[in-house]
């Protein structure tokens, strides 16, 4: 096997493998369960399990696992071998239908946000036939959902699947209103663009902060960063190219559609974009991509950093979530189309997204919130913490003309009547220019750009799917009772534009003036995780998620707790790491360096009183002053960390971490970075920013 087409999907139990290996009727049953969510009966499950096992063993697998996505944001697996003892001290390889369909990992060590306190500790995993099984490192991995025995979702896949059902249900109601009878289902599609850093393993291993927290907690600015913009789309270095080649091959084997790769803005930063696919598969694939990136990097003596902000003063990493809706007949519902009919349908689905983003700004913000991503949102590199949408000037003018019943177009301006007139063309190229918008229309899809590089894309897509399903539900309720569809549709679209246009902004999202303007418009500006998380429990949000059966109030509450708890834990580890680095490495180093300076001055003086020792004495004095300052700041951080025990409520604790612990960390960093600037490289205990960022030659 050496051509890409041979390699692609070679480790995936996909449709063509199933067609070849399953009896026709079983194959059909599996297809039905993939497309319509129908449960497979146990006889069929046994047949599938057997075929899967034989296929996996032929590919060298010895174990199987239910592969799931607990609320830690990473994936989990527990390997079981296929062996089963038989007479004569021998074993046979077995895998039953029951083992395929359901597993029982111990749920007690995964975060549950209090779900375990109220319900049974046990959890079970259930096969998700919509995402293909695959072989990774000799293990047959079966994508599964993870629930408690009470049925509460303990993972990131269950709510995502539920949200896809919701948007299918409501979207189909709307599609039917347009007289569409051939469509039987609607799915959302996603193409997540993944950013990451690659650094040499040797420098990584010398940085406790990178090893414990994934980001640098100290580090003076290097003489050269990303100012020259000479890295973006630049030639790929041979070591990186070799990494990318192997990464692609590994991903292709698993059926991941890795498509484009290039250098990003910051030195050592890169990006991988796959071809889009169904949202839950894209989510599984993105998890695999992150895992395999890290594994392959190690093989090449490098480390792949997925943290949102590994380096201060250098661009952080995000994940652009390209999102659209598509019918099973292959129609992209966010493609404007050419006919009045297609245009009308497009406009209504577009309105559904506009309304969703406006009504659920808070939930979208929460979906991308984490301690790591807080460093990016609002900084001058990533979209601001304020939600807004970019539609492009053409499309916005068209919407405005519809809203105000004003003529639109070139020479022959005319009124646009939805469903009657063809929309004027708006060039796709015009729509992709704005890189500062958190949520941009790019011709036939939206690009949600606030996601952080390290997190699962599940949360953001759960919110998007559900919020859009809610807009569609409201539209279907109105239009299903209409006696004059065309007219009522036109009026509906007008009213949605009028009500929600405040969320549309085509200007520069990095501009301070926009933040003020956004406030005037009444848009939310939720700067940090503790600022936004309380909105989880806002009545309208609880109503949204319960109405569409995505989360029960208890499940929502558990997510609220987990988000805050995760935030506190990250800051706690960072604070302790800083203290460790300062006491154990940095203070001893600067102390030794000032001793060396003082010794040198003394030695010089002993040669002759007239020798000028001002360099040594002044620098030693400066370092001593800074050291005293650093000690004060370190103690302040220590006190702050001790005070965390005074808080019981998770929200109050998270606020304390942000306002006091994090503030103390920042103050300490300023002094330590100043010390680094003045300390001899020979004495400084860590590789510098320059050493790290340019470590891969």
Which residue ranges make up the site for ligand ADP (CB under 6 A)? 189-191, 193, 273-276, 322-324, 332, 432, 442, 444-445
Q: How far is the CB of 283 from ligand ADP (least distance, A)?
A: 13
Q: How far is the CB of 25 from ligand ADP (least distance, A)?
A: 34
Q: How far is the CB of 320 from ligand ADP (least distance, A)?
A: 7
- Residue 276 or 657: which CB sits closer to ligand ADP? 276
Q: How far is the CB of 500 from ligand ADP (least distance, A)?
A: 22
Q: How far is the CB of 324 from ligand ADP (least distance, A)?
A: 4
- Residue 10 or 332: which CB sits closer to ligand ADP? 332
The beta-strand segments (E) located in 407-483 are 439-441, 446-448
Q: How far is the CB of 474 from ligand ADP (least distance, A)?
A: 24
- Residue 432 or 585: which CB sits closer to ligand ADP? 432
Q: What is the 3-state secondary structure (H, E, C) of 444-459?
A: CCEEECCCECCCCCHH
Q: What is the 3-state secondary structure (H, E, C) of 132-156?
A: CEEEECCEEEEEEEEEECCCCECEC
Q: How far is the CB of 281 from ligand ADP (least distance, A)?
A: 12
Q: Residue 440 in 3-state DSSP?
A: strand
Which of 369, 325, 321 has its CA nearest to residue 193? 321
- Residue 315 or 679: which CB sits closer to ligand ADP? 315
- Residue 333 or 571: which CB sits closer to ligand ADP? 333
- Residue 271 or 691: which CB sits closer to ligand ADP? 271
Q: How far is the CB of 189 from ligand ADP (least distance, A)?
A: 4
- Residue 89 or 330: which CB sits closer to ligand ADP? 330
Determine the Cα–Cα distance for residues 641 and 653; give it in Å rounded to an integer: 11
Q: How far is the CB of 175 from ligand ADP (least distance, A)?
A: 17
For the record, the structure tokens of 494 come out as 């007008």
Q: How far from the centroid of its chain's Cα atoms is residue 273's Cα?
A: 13
- Residue 464 or 556: which CB sits closer to ligand ADP? 464
Determine the Cα–Cα distance for residues 104 and 502; give it in Å rounded to an integer: 48
Q: How far is the CB of 334 from ligand ADP (least distance, A)?
A: 7
Distances (CA, A) of 275 to 78, 278, 281, 613: 30, 10, 12, 64
Which of 192, 202, 204, 267 has its CA nearest to residue 236? 267
Q: How far is the CB of 463 from ligand ADP (least distance, A)?
A: 16
Q: Do 257 and 284 meet the contact criterion of CB atoms below 8 Å apart?
A: no
The backbone torsions φ and ψ at residue 592, rounded to the nearest 5 degrees and listed phi first, read: -65, -40
Q: How far is the CB of 321 from ligand ADP (least distance, A)?
A: 8
Residue nearest to ligand ADP (CB): 191
Burial 488-503 (b: 16+ CB within 10 A, else e): ebbebbbebbeebbeb
Q: Enumerate residues 6+ apart whose C-beta is below 8 A from 292.
A: 247, 250, 251, 254
Determine the Cα–Cα distance for residues 218 and 674; give it in Å rounded to an integer: 10
- Give the ranges where 125-237 is alpha helix by DSSP (H): 157-177, 201-204, 208-213
- Residue 409 or 443: which CB sits closer to ligand ADP? 443
- Residue 472 or 620: which CB sits closer to ligand ADP? 472
Q: How far is the CB of 188 from ligand ADP (least distance, A)?
A: 8
- Residue 158 or 442: which CB sits closer to ligand ADP? 442
Q: State the sign of the Cα–Cα–Cα–Cα dihedral 276, 281, 286, 292.
A: negative
- Residue 123, beta-bridge partner list: 148
Task: Establish how many alpha carbons lie within 13 A of residue 27's alpha carbon, considering only the half-sphere containing its beta carbon.
Answer: 12
Distances (CA, A) of 282 to 188, 191, 256, 278, 599: 10, 7, 8, 6, 62
**Environment class of residue 151 by beta-carbon count within 10 Å: exposed (0-12), middle (13-18) or buried (19+)?**
exposed
- Residue 115 or 331: which CB sits closer to ligand ADP? 331
The backbone torsions φ and ψ at residue 359, rounded to the nearest 5 degrees and listed phi first, read: -65, -30
- Residue 252 or 686: which CB sits closer to ligand ADP? 252
């Amino acid at each position: 096997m050496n051509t890409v087409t041979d390699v692609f999907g070679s480790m995936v139990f996909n449709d063509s493998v199933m067609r070849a290996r399953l009896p026709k009727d079983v194959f059909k049953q599996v297809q039905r369960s993939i497309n319509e969510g129908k449960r497979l009966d146990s006889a069929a499950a046994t047949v599938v399990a057997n075929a899967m096992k034989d296929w996996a063993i032929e590919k060298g697998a010895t174990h199987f696992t239910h592969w799931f996505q607990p609320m830690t944001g990473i994936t989990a697996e527990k390997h079981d071998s296929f062996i089963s003892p038989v007479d004569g001290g021998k074993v046979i390889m077995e895998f039953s239908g029951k083992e395929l369909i359901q597993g029982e990992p111990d749920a007690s060590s995964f975060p549950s946000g209090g779900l375990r306190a109220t319900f049974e500790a046990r959890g079970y995993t259930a096969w998700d036939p919509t995402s293909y099984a695959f072989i990774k490192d000799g293990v047959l991995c079966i994508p599964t959902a993870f629930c408690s025995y009470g049925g509460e979702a303990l993972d990131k896949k269950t709510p995502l699947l539920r949200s896809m059902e919701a948007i299918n249900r409501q979207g189909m109601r709307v599609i039917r209103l347009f007289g569409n009878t051939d469509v039987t289902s609607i799915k959302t599609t996603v193409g997540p663009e993944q950013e990451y850093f690659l650094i040499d393993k040797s420098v990584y291993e010398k940085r406790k902060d990178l090893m414990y927290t994934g980001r640098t907690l100290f580090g003076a600015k290097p003489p050269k960063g990303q100012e020259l913009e000479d890295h973006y789309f630049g030639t790929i270095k041979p070591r990186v190219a070799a990494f990318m080649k192997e990464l692609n091959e590994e991903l292709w084997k698993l059926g991941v559609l890795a498509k484009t790769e290039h250098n990003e803005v910051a030195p050592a930063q890169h990006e991988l974009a796959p071809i889009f696919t169904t949202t839950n598969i894209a989510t599984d694939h993105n998890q695999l991509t992150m895992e395999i990136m890290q594994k392959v990097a190690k093989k090449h003596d490098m480390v792949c950093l997925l943290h949102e902000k590994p380096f201060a003063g250098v661009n952080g990493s995000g994940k652009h979530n390209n999102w659209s809706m598509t019918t099973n007949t292959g129609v992209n519902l966010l493609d404007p189309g050419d006919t009045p009919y297609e245009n009308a349908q497009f406009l209504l689905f577009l309105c559904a997204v506009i309304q969703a983003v406006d009504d659920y700004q808070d939930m979208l913000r929460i979906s991308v919130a984490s301690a790591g991503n807080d460093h990016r949102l609002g900084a001058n590199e990533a979209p601001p913490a304020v939600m807004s949408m970019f539609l492009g000037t053409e499309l916005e003018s068209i919407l405005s003309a519809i809203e105000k019943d004003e003529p639109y177009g070139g020479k022959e301006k005319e009124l646009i009547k939805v469903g009657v007139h063809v929309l004027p063309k708006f060039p796709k190229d015009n729509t992709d220019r704005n890189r500062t918008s958190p949520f941009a229309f790019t011709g036939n899809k939206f690009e949600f750009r606030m996601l952080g590089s390290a997190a699962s894309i599940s949360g953001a897509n759960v919110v998007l799917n559900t919020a859009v399903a809610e807009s569609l539900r409201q539209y279907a309720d109105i239009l299903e009772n209409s006696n004059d569809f065309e007219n009522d549709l036109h009026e509906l679209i007008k009213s949605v534009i009028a009500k929600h246009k405040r969320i549309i902004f085509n200007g520069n999202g990095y501009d301070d003036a926009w933040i003020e303007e956004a406030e005037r418009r009444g848009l939310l500006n939720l700067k940090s995780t503790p600022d936004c998380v309380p909105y989880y429990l806002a009545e309208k949000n609880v109503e949204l998620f319960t109405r569409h059966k995505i989360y029960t109030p208890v499940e929502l509450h558990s997510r609220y707790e987990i988000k805050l708890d995760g935030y506190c834990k990250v800051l706690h580890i960072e604070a302790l790491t800083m203290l460790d680095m300062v006491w154990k490495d940095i203070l001893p180093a600067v102390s030794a360096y000032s001793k060396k300076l003082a010794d040198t001055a003394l030695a010089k003086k002993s040669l002759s009183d007239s020798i000028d020792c001002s360099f040594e004495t002044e620098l030693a004095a400066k370092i001593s002053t800074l050291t005293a300052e650093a000690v004060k700041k370190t103690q302040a951080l220590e006190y702050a960390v001790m005070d965390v025990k005074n808080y019981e409520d998770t929200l109050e604790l998270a606020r304390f971490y942000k306002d006091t612990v994090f503030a103390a960390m920042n103050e300490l960093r300023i002094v330590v970075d100043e010390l680094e600037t003045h300390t001899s490289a020979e004495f400084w205990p860590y590789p510098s920013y320059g050493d790290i960022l340019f470590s891969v030659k």
